[in-house]
Structure 1
Amino acid sequence: MNMNVAGIDVSYQTVTLVISQAGRMGKSREFKNTSQGHATLINRLRKAQVSRVGLEATGLYHLDLALDDAGLEVMVINPKAAKRFAEAMQTRTKTDAVDATLLAQFALRMPFEPWQRPDALALTIRACARRIAALNQLRTQTKNQLHAAEQTAATPDFLLADLQQSITQLDAQIEHLRQQVLDLIAADQDLQPTFELLISVTGIAAASAIQLLGKLLVLPHDMRAKQWVARAGLDPRQHQSGSSVNKKLRLSKAGNRYLRIALYMPALSAARHDPNVRADYRHLIERRGLKKIQAVCAIMR
């Protein structure tokens, strides 16, 4: 294959680039992980006549968007797939340069699946959903700290008041962001029906629907049901070898763990409050012998 491809390893402060030309890997080059650094990197890709780029999912889209704007085909590689590929290549060291080389080899050798750019509204909702999730986690931590502080008489009143104030402020931030997202959804004639369909499902309220939309809207819209399940890592993984090894099916977890987190509480709520789902949940436990967590995961799927 004569196509020139590149692998990009993204870290907090730097971006490491390796270019494969005519099947030969070049030396690694490092750029700052800033808008100016991205522009310099893209100029280097253009000079090398690179047409395809492989990079590992980093949770941020700023570099992906910059590469897409430059007219380059981008493949966002699942971290677990990248790890398995490195093992297959018998890689013994791990550095940014080695990771970038492996990503370039992955893009060169494996079936290329181009990244589909989400629209601006999808990216906005995704960013808000992640911020709300982070604030919820901080709120839970603060409530746990307050509970622990209340268990001892040695805790001064001003510290308890400070923790209470932090919780109140976090509640206000979460509600403000949530309302901002709801306003964005209400203003979009295509997204509003999708949101209403989500919240019509037992167990999914507005808060859960926002989290789910934040994950699902940035995925390709032409995915089938089985692909959605696989992207969430909820597909069963079979482990069988010969006649002596036949382990029970387990979740692959080879997908987006944030999507699994967003599905967990709605599934648990539906298993308690929806008669049909509850009957299925009890059947899985009592007749199929599944553990409670396994049955909840089946409901998530």
Structure 2
Amino acid sequence: MAKRNTICAGIDTSKDKLDVALDGSSEELQVKNTAEGHQELVEWLKRHKVKRVGIEASGGYEQAAVAELRRQRFVVIVFQPIQVRAYATFHLQRAKNDKMDAALIAACTAAVKKIHPAPDPRLQPFAVHLTMIDQIKEDIAKLKNRLESCPDERIQKFWKEQIALLAKHRRAEFKALVAAIRKHRDLAARLDLIYSVGGSGLPTAVAILIRMPEIGQITREQAAALTGLAPYDDDSGKHVGARRIDGGRQRLRQALYTAALPASFRWNPQLMALYSRLIAAGKGHKRALVACARKLIVIINAVVARGTPWVAEPPRTASVSVT
């Protein structure tokens, strides 16, 4: 829990500017969202003896400011927009402008009781690179849809050439990303641990390494929640609703779900046994795959925490309760 004398600031981010407010104070600042503006921000925060800074994620426009603040050894909390909106709703605050948002984020920052360690700064450029690779894959899928619905042979040839070119670029970029990761001995070792798990192909292992820096340092429940694969209750009074997954990191969840299919049919005996039990119990294919994806990240988390490569365990005969 933060000490009462911890001075907190909140920053509302846009493409061109940063609005800054101090919690419990009328002091305000507005600077450009540039390197020069960030330096002015740092000097202002130091002058006001700020220790903790909250900033709302804003489509990547906050990243340069966050990096500079952490480099200057401020404790920085990056909030998701849903967190700030929930805090505003709780306090019945409906009015909205940039200055008010900065003050709201400052109050939200002061209310945080548990501060999580800052992520490894080496992973940020890797995350940008991986997102580009994912976007190329998405572009290929769009072009394939166009190809299927196109009756013109000349245009079909054009789309095929574009698909082949993008696929070539994607392979080259992924190879370059893996090479960049392997320049760091500790990251390479962690990647190999993740990759050792049956069903975790190299693309999946890279996605987990980059998009889940907490891997191996959290509980199995936290791992499932961060990936958006944890089932949540929907019960109230006499109503008992179906448990559903929600939230989490979308691109990471998609990577795990994609990996779960081949892992549950060929590569991982534990997941193969789990899938068979769930299908035999009347669960649908999709629910069974979600459970297998959740089990996969739990296994990977345990392997990284243990620090030794995965060894396939024989399937358990006892029934396991999975929803």
TM-score range, shorter chain: 0.7 to 0.9
2:104 to 98, 102, 105: 102
Instruction: Return the alpha-carbon distance in structure 1 between the equivalents of residues 66 and 274 of structure 2.
Output: 41
AA at the equivalent of 2:225: A
2:180 equivalent in structure 1 = 184
| Matched length | 288
Contact 2:190 2:209 in 1 (8 A): no
Which aligned pairs between 1:196-211 and structure 2 lie closer than 5 A? Answer: 196-211=192-207
With 74-83 and 133-142 compared, the bigger mean Cα shift is at: 74-83
1:251 and 2:251 equivalent? no
Contact 2:8 2:109 in 1 (8 A): yes
Contact 1:75 1:115 in 2 (8 A): no
Instruction: Return the alpha-carbon distance in structure 1 between the equivalents of residues 19 and 272 of structure 2.
Output: 50
2:37 equivalent in structure 1 = 37
Q: How far did residue 104 of structure 1 move?
A: 0.9
Instruction: Return the alpha-carbon distance in structure 2 between the equivalents of residues 259 and 70 of structure 1.
Output: 30
Q: How far did residue 88 of structure 1 move?
A: 0.8
1:75 equivalent in structure 2 = 77
SS at match of 2:185: coil
1:131 equivalent in structure 2 = 132
Residue segments in structure 1 that go unaligned for 5+ positions in a row:
none
With 133-142 and 272-281 compared, the bigger mean Cα shift is at: 272-281
1:51 equivalent in structure 2 = 51
Instruction: Return the alpha-carbon distance in structure 1 between the equivalents of residues 107 and 114 of structure 2.
Output: 11
SS at match of 1:248: coil
Instruction: Return the alpha-carbon distance in structure 1 between the equivalents of residues 102 and 284 of structure 2.
Output: 41
1:264 equivalent in structure 2 = 257
Structure-1-length-normalised TM-score: 0.85
Q: How far did residue 202 of structure 1 move?
A: 3.0
Instruction: Return the alpha-carbon distance in structure 2 between the equivalents of residues 202 and 114 of structure 1.
Output: 30
Instruction: Return the alpha-carbon distance in structure 2 between the equivalents of residues 134 and 89 of structure 1.
Output: 38
1:13 equivalent in structure 2 = 16
1:291 and 2:287 equivalent? no
AA at the equivalent of 2:137: N
1:232 to 219, 227, 232: 227
**1:296/1:237 Cα in 2 relative to 1: closer, same or farther (>3 Å)?**
same
SS at match of 1:8: strand
With 140-149 and 198-207 compared, the bigger mean Cα shift is at: 198-207
Instruction: Return the alpha-carbon distance in structure 2 between the equivalents of residues 275 and 49 of structure 1.
Output: 56
**1:101/1:220 Cα in 2 relative to 1: closer, same or farther (>3 Å)?**
farther
Q: Over residues 240-293 of structure 1, what are the superposed CA-to-partner deviations in whole Å (9 max), with x where a residue is unaligned?
A: 333x2332222242x222221221101122122244423312322331x43332
Instruction: Return the alpha-carbon distance in structure 2 between the equivalents of residues 275 and 71 of structure 1.
Output: 46
**1:216/1:114 Cα in 2 relative to 1: closer, same or farther (>3 Å)?**
closer
Structure-2-length-normalised TM-score: 0.79
Contact 1:126 1:213 in 2 (8 A): no
Instruction: Return the alpha-carbon distance in structure 2 between the equivalents of residues 260 and 48 of structure 1.
Output: 41
Instruction: Return the alpha-carbon distance in structure 1 between the equivalents of residues 148 and 25 of structure 2.
Output: 60
Contact 1:284 1:295 in 2 (8 A): yes
Q: Over residues 103-143 of structure 1, what are the superposed CA-to-partner deviations in whole Å (9 max), with x where a residue is unaligned?
A: 111111231414414142x2332222111111111111122
Q: How far did residue 52 of structure 1 move?
A: 0.8
SS at match of 1:24: coil
AA at the equivalent of 1:83: R
**1:137/1:199 Cα in 2 relative to 1: closer, same or farther (>3 Å)?**
same
AA at the equivalent of 1:92: R
Instruction: Give the aligned CA root-mean-square deviation in angstroms.
Output: 2.4
1:277 to 271, 277, 285: 271
**1:109/1:292 Cα in 2 relative to 1: closer, same or farther (>3 Å)?**
same
SS at match of 2:11: strand
Instruction: Return the alpha-carbon distance in structure 1 between the equivalents of residues 5 and 188 of structure 2.
Output: 47
AA at the equivalent of 1:216: M
**1:142/1:286 Cα in 2 relative to 1: closer, same or farther (>3 Å)?**
same
